[in-house]
Structure 1
């Protein structure tokens, strides 16, 4: 059953990341007409659009309806993985709390991958395509405060490295707080 767990986990993680990207794009006021932004919106609109008609709820720039949908997918992923691994399901408040932890971990993983892709694109892509522009809009609010502390040294921007170290620290810190289950999420 490891193959089914892997496939289930990967498919859920990818779709949850796309939904979190939608939330993040909206919260950061990224270019809506960018082809990458349009892909994210179009791939999530069939479900999110219907949910927003039922429960239109925003707090500031954060779409709470879409955030709740991503959280429910995290809980559903945990339930399905529990069924695959043990053939039984025990719905409890622990599952709801682990759903929050999984949401946080998926958002952190998404940030890591976007930073990594931005770094690689900055090395090889000199014409700054539409995806790089949106990723810049997403990551710049996090990198700018770090650049104030650690300026660009000899053409090297170490702010991304500092954020990578911060993400890794947060990952280990959550592992210390939650325990070994954090690494299995």
Structure 2
């Protein structure tokens, strides 16, 4: 059971970094720092979009319009941190006994 908990924890950790990379890449594209006409950049942006958009879309529907500021990645990261903490709160004490 502890192996499954560690696997889930690792997946949450990797997805956390994917969400952070997606947010940073969207800022870089929005401010014109990177050029999306470059095929490599386009592939990276598309990959990050496909990995994060299915989770971010429902969060964006719930959040009110904040005038162009998208805080859905922050909400998702808070949810991932909470899920990770909850996982270890319930799994780890079961193995200490």
Residue 2 of structure 2 corresponds to: 98
| TM-score when normalising by structure 2 | 0.77
Partners in 2 of 1:153 and 1:142 — Cα distance? 19
Verify: 1:114 aligned to 2:18, yes or no.
yes
Residue 51 of structure 2 corresponds to: 138
Q: How far did residue 152 of structure 1 move?
A: 4.3
Q: Helix, strand or coil for the counterpart of 2:89?
A: helix
Aligned residues: 84
Moved >4 Å (runs of 4+): none
**Any stretches of 5+ residues in structure 1 without a counterpart?**
1-96, 181-185
| TM-score when normalising by structure 1 | 0.42
Partners in 1 of 2:7 and 2:65 — Cα distance? 33
Q: How far did residue 179 of structure 1 move?
A: 2.5
Q: Is the 8 A contact 1:143 1:160 kept in 2?
A: yes
Partners in 2 of 1:102 and 1:136 — Cα distance? 26
Q: Deviations over 1:48-71 (max 9, x none)?
A: xxxxxxxxxxxxxxxxxxxxxxxx
Q: Is the 8 A contact 2:2 2:91 kept in 1?
A: no
What's the RMSD between the two structures over aligned residues?
1.6
Residue 157 of structure 1 corresponds to: 70
**Any stretches of 5+ residues in structure 2 without a counterpart?**
37-41
Return the index of the structure with the highest Cα Rg: 1
Residue 92 of structure 2 corresponds to: 179
